[in-house]
């Protein structure tokens, strides 16, 4: 399983259900939460994979999922003693990772997405991405183009989402990708940053057939942007909007409220910016996620209620009580 902080208690409950059902099933946990808080590995979880999981999981698979100190990048418990192995080096170059075998999941038409890089060079105090990935690494333009072509052939799509934290970090690379995929006649959505938007970049993205650009503006208060270490200014925000509107992109914004330094006047600056520019947006409360500079020690993961709802947990706990008859059914079906 992989889990984020919001649904970590669900992962713990799923692990408990699995072990009640069959204690010999191995439960391996990966993702950002266990990477940020390794000691939160529960007694029903056999192994936690820290950071990048491709090579680590392969080694565990070859070792029949038995943890030992030779496998880098894992945590586990041995005789109730918490064990953590040496950190695993990052995969370099990123092209060593094979393209995903999407044909394993059928070929029905649905929204498809792609990652062309890992990491972010910016150090926003609320974000774990730069801490999780350690540094920015890119797939080569050729690798990206080939994966997009595979997706187009298999799923007959007309639209593709690029989920990189910031796709536009390297303008020349974006230009090379554009040239390699220009004959595919696909449209794209990407994520960008206000301080990186220029007329030159906008023209390249337009030629690439990008139609939607998401930007994490976070705030339009200088004081709040400074507190968040966002790396852009209110002037950058407005310039980005003006350029993207001039080139007729669909712009989508995300914002953060309730930072410790934010006053009503600061929040009003943000809302005025949104209204003035008619920006479709999401507004999120500031969350102190594990591994970020603003994280304050917290064991109550249910306080991060975005996906982790009490009603769902209650239903699952009721389900646990039914495990015994399910085990009988499982044995019957195996026969």
Residue whose C-alpha is closest to residue 238's, from 213, 273, 192: 273
Summarize pLDDT for 65-117 with one digit per residue, the tens.
999 999 999 999 998 899 999 999 999 999 999 999 988 877 667 789 999 99
Residue whose C-alpha is closest to residue 297's, from 36, 107, 122, 27: 36
- Cα torsion 134, 136, 142, 147 to 10°: value is 60
Mean per-residue pLDDT, 259-282: 96
Summarize pLDDT for 35-57 with one digit per residue, the tens.
999 999 999 999 999 999 999 99
CA distance 144 to 148: 6
Q: Are 330 and 18 in contact (CB under 8 A)?
A: no
Other Cβ atoms less than 10 A from the Cβ of 19: the count is 18
CA distance 219 to 222: 8
Q: What is the pLDDT at residue 299?
A: 46
All domains in the chain, ordered by first residue: 5-89+308-334 (no CATH), 104-294 (3.20.20.70)
Q: DSSP letter string over 228-294?
A: HT-S--HHHHHHHHHHHHHTTPEEEEEEEE--TT--HHHHHHHHHHHHHHT--EEEEE----TTSTT
State the sign of the Cα–Cα–Cα–Cα dihedral 70, 119, 11, 22: negative
Strand partners, 160: 112, 188
pLDDT band at 309 (very low <50, low <70, confident <90, very high): very low
Report the predicted TM-score, pTM, of the whole model to 2 decimal places: 0.84
Buried b (16+ CB within 10 A) or exposed e, 155-185: bebeebebebbbbbbeeebbbbbbebbeebe
Residue 128 has pLDDT above 60, yes or no: yes
Q: Are 190 and 184 in contact (CB under 8 A)?
A: no
Averaged confidence pLDDT in the chain: 90
Q: Are 233 and 225 in contact (CB under 8 A)?
A: yes
Collapse the DSSP code of 32 into the 3-class scheme (helix H, G, I; strand E, B; otherwise coil) and give the result.
helix
CA distance 56 to 334: 32
Residue 121 has what DSSP assignment?
Answer: S
pLDDT band at 307 (very low <50, low <70, confident <90, very high): very low
Burial environment of residue 84 by CB neighbours within 10 A (0 to 12, 13 to 18, 19 or more)? middle
Mean per-residue pLDDT, 296-308: 48
Strand partners, 282: 254
Residue 126 has pLDDT above 90, yes or no: yes
Summarize pLDDT for 12-38 with one digit per residue, the tens.
999 999 999 999 999 999 999 999 999
Collapse the DSSP code of 188 into the 3-class scheme (helix H, G, I; strand E, B; otherwise coil) and give the result.
strand
Q: What is the pLDDT at residue 87?
A: 95
Residue 298 has pLDDT above 50, yes or no: no
pLDDT band at 325 (very low <50, low <70, confident <90, very high): low
| Proportion of the chain above pLDDT 70, given as a percent | 87
Q: What is the pLDDT at residue 39?
A: 94
Q: What is the pLDDT at residue 111?
A: 83
Find all residues with CB under 8 Å of 264, minimum gap 6, and list them: none
Summarize pLDDT for 236-257 with one digit per residue, the tens.
999 999 999 999 999 999 999 9
pLDDT band at 333 (very low <50, low <70, confident <90, very high): low
pLDDT band at 185 (very low <50, low <70, confident <90, very high): very high
Q: What is the pLDDT at residue 110?
A: 74
For the chain, the first-to-last Cα distance in angstroms comes to: 28
């Amino acid at each position: 399983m992989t889990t984020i902080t919001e649904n970590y208690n669900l992962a713990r409950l799923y692990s408990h259900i699995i072990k009640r059902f069959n204690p010999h099933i191995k439960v391996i946990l990966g993702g950002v939460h266990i990477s940020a808080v390794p000691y939160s590995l529960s007694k029903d979880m056999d192994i936690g994979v820290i950071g990048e999981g491709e090579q680590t999981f392969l080694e565990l698979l070859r070792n029949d999922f038995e943890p030992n100190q030779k496998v880098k990048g894992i945590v586990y418990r041995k005789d109730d003693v918490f064990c953590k192995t040496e950190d695993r080096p990052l995969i370099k170059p990123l092209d060593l990772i094979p393209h995903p075998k999407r044909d394993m999941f059928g070929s029905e038409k649905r929204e498809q997405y792609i990652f062309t890089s890992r990491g972010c060079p910016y150090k926003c105090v609320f974000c774990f991405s730069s801490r999780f990935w350690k540094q920015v690494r890119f797939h080569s333009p050729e690798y990206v183009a080939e994966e997009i072509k595979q997706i187009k052939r298999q799923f007959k799509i007309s639209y593709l989402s690029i989920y990189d934290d910031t796709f536009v970090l390297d303008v020349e690379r974006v230009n090379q990708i554009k040239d390699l995929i220009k004959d595919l006649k696909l449209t794209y959505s990407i994520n960008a940053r206000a301080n990186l938007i220029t007329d030159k970049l906008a023209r390249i993205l337009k030629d690439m057939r990008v139609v939607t650009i998401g930007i994490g503006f976070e705030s339009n208060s200088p004081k709040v942007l400074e507190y968040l270490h966002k790396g852009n200014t209110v002037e950058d925000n407005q310039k980005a909007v003006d350029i993207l509107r001039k080139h007729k992109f669909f712009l989508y914004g995300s914002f953060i409220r309730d930072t410790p330094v934010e006053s009503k006047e600061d929040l009003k600056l943000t809302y005025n910016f949104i209204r003035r520019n008619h920006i479709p947006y999401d507004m999120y409360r500031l969350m102190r996620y594990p591994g970020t500079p603003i994280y304050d020690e917290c064991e109550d993961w249910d306080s991060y209620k975005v996906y982790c709802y009490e009603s769902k947990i209650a239903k699952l706990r009721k389900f646990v009580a039914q495990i015994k008859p399910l085990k009988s059914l499982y044995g019957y079906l195996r026969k």
